[in-house]
């Protein structure tokens, strides 16, 4: 379960929350396997498990009718935000393993740069998120 929530919650005047979520736990499967292996080496795996849970909960994605916000960081916080009106391209990527587990990443790009500015990574409903953002743009 990735903690995805679709709802229409009013945040500021005339701004409605469409979706919020975190990366899916399955996105961290490689980290979980490494942590399990590290348990046999002086308990380092336990610290790594703690880091996995902190990292996942520190990553928060919010989509409103006005903007897309990505927050991340355990110690230092980083926030990326793009207004919906500035979004010019939406891409979704799912590798072979991602497709098996039903996760993916949605990338948003604006006209101001030649690259993707926002990555909503490791989410369990990438196609639905892409469609929701497309609806907001059109």
pLDDT, tens digit, 9 for 90 and up, residues 50-79: 999 999 999 999 999 999 999 999 999 999
Average pLDDT over residues 27-51: 90
> Is the pLDDT reported for residue 11 higher than 90?
no
Which domains does the chain carry?
5-137 (2.30.29)
For residue 15, the 8-state DSSP code is: E
Which has more confidence, 10 or 60?
Answer: 60
The answer to whether 20 touches 97, Cβ cutoff 8 Å, is no
- The pLDDT assigned to 4 comes to 62
Confidence band of 111 (pLDDT split at 50, 70, 90): confident
- Whether the Cβ atoms of residue 13 and residue 132 lie closer than 8 Å to each other: no
User: How far is C-alpha 36 from the geometric centre of its chain's CA atoms?
Assistant: 24
Q: Are 70 and 119 in contact (CB under 8 A)?
A: yes
Mean pLDDT score of the chain? 89
């Amino acid at each position: 379960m990735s903690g995805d929530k679709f709802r229409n919650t009013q945040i500021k005047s005339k701004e409605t929350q469409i979706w919020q979520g975190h990366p899916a736990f399955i996105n961290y499967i490689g980290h979980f396997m490494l942590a399990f292996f590290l348990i046999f080496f002086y308990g380092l795996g336990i610290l790594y498990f703690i880091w996995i849970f902190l990292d996942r909960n520190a990553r928060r994605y919010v989509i409103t009718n006005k903007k897309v916000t990505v927050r991340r960081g355990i110690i230092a916080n980083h926030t990326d935000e793009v207004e919906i009106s500035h979004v010019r391209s939406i891409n979704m990527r799912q590798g072979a393993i991602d497709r098996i587990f039903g996760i993916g990443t949605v990338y948003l790009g604006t006209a101001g740069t030649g690259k993707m500015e926002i990555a909503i990574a490791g989410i369990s409903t990438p196609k639905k998120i892409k469609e929701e953002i497309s609806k907001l743009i059109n």
